[in-house]
DNA sequence: CATCCGCTTGACGTTTACGTAAGCTGAACG
DNA sequence: CGTTCAGCTTACGTAAACGTCAAGCGGATG
């Protein structure tokens, strides 16, 4: 029981995912729970990987990209070249995200302006402004 | 011919989208090209809307969300009630966007940290860090 | 023993945003 | 006139990331 592995349900509760999701990730070779008979037991490694998966998703990586990153990460003592490649990818992604954030801020400002504009139309009781075009 | 409308192909070339995409957007009521016989003619309004659509997509909005925003942008001579409803939607969208921006910022910070971390592993020429755990 | 519980493996369903192919039409070209 | 070209409609296909059954299994419980 205290052997440091978690059942699928415990995983779900801990990380707020569904069983289906965990099985799906296993089928995609993102996780490798061991089997005790039929049942899956998720090790510490699986938990670490799941955390990375979930974070990766927040970053906007696809599961396939995440798998590749995990593989590289896993091969910790591999070629520097590959590691560098990994960080290169990550930096590209980061640049993307920053760009996206800036555009998003712009859009937020735009929309905020629109809303101010709209309130001037709405609040005066029943003013019609048909002549617009 | 210089009547200020574009054919579907001209639209595609100008905005780098496929005909399928434009027809799709029309079917989703994002664009309203006029018909000359069978053919679609895209007006200035359609072009403005398309620009907004493409921008919205870069922000990560769904087409449905974009449609709602577009409705807001040109809700001209509508009823107050509907207008208020529209602005309500817009404010919800805005809240969504701000949330999204915050999450994005969080992710950016996280990833930035990760990258710092990674550089310490990469840059020292061939240092193995197997003893980490 | 019957039943329930948690878990398992298929396998089909869902959504979004189009791609792609089939078959038709009207205008234009040689 | 035949063909090409651009465009049209209809409709099935696709990828990602799971959701949602259906059916079955081993263990615990009353």
Domain locations along chain A: 1-60, 75-122
pLDDT interval class at A42 (50, 70, 90): very high
- The chain A residues in contact with chain B (CB within 8 A) are 55, 58-60, 76-77, 80, 83-84, 86-87, 90-91, 93-94, 97-98, 100-101, 103-105, 107-108, 111-112, 114-115, 118-119, 121-122, 126, 128-130, 132
pLDDT of B128 above 70: no
pLDDT at B131 over 50: no
- What ranges in B7-131 are assigned the alpha helix state H? 8-15, 19-27, 44-59, 63-74, 80-122
User: For the residues A37-52, what does the mean pLDDT come to?
Assistant: 92
Residue with tokens 């949330």: B99
Q: What does residue A70 show for φ and ψ, rounded to 5 degrees?
A: -60, -40
Three-state helix/strand/coil letters over A98-121: HHHHHHHHHHHHHHHHHHHHHHHH
The CATH label, of 3.30.420.40, 3.40.50.300, 1.10.1660.10, 3.40.190.10, for the domain at A1-60 is 1.10.1660.10
What mean pLDDT value characterizes chain A?
A: 78
Q: List the B26 CA – D12 C1' distance (angstroms).
A: 20
The strand ranges marked E within chain A are 34-36, 39-41
- Chain A residues with CB inside 8 Å of B111's CB? 59, 90, 93-94, 97
pLDDT for res B42: 97
Residue A133: pLDDT above 70? no
The spacing between the Cα labelled CA in A65 and the C1' in D18, in angstroms, equals 17
Whole-number percent of chain B with pLDDT over 90:
36
**pLDDT at residue A9, as a whole number:** 94
- Residue A121: pLDDT band with limits 50, 70, 90: low
Residue A59's nearest CA partner among A2, A24, A28, A100 is: A100
Weakest-pLDDT range from A68-72, A101-105, B25-29? A68-72
Q: Is the pLDDT of residue B68 over 90?
A: no
Q: Does the pLDDT value for residue B129 go beyond 60?
A: no
A47 contacts A6 by C-beta, under 8 angstroms: yes
Distances (CA, A) of A52 to A16, A45, A93, A105, B124: 14, 11, 15, 27, 24
Q: How far is B23 from chain A (nearest CA, A)?
A: 26
pLDDT one-digit tens code per residue, A53-82? 988 887 777 888 888 778 766 655 555 566
Helix axes B44-59, B63-74, angle to 10 degrees: 130
**Torsion-angle region of residue B127: left (phi > 0), alpha (psi -120 to 50) or beta?**
beta
């Amino acid at each position: 029981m205290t052997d440091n592995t978690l059942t699928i349900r415990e995983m779900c509760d801990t990380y707020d995912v569904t069983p289906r999701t965990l099985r799906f990730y296993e089928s995609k070779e993102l996780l490798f729970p061991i089997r005790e008979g039929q049942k899956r037991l998720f090790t510490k490694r699986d938990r670490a990987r799941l955390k990375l998966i979930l974070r990766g998703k927040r970053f906007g990586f696809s599961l396939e990209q995440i798998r590749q990153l995990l593989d590289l990460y896993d091969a910790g003592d591999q070629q520097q070249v590959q590691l560098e490649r990994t960080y290169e990818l990550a930096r590209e992604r980061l640049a993307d995200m920053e760009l996206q954030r800036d555009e998003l801020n712009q859009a937020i400002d735009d929309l905020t302006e629109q809303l101010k504009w709209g309130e001037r139309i709405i609040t005066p009781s029943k003013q019609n402004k048909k002549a617009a075009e």
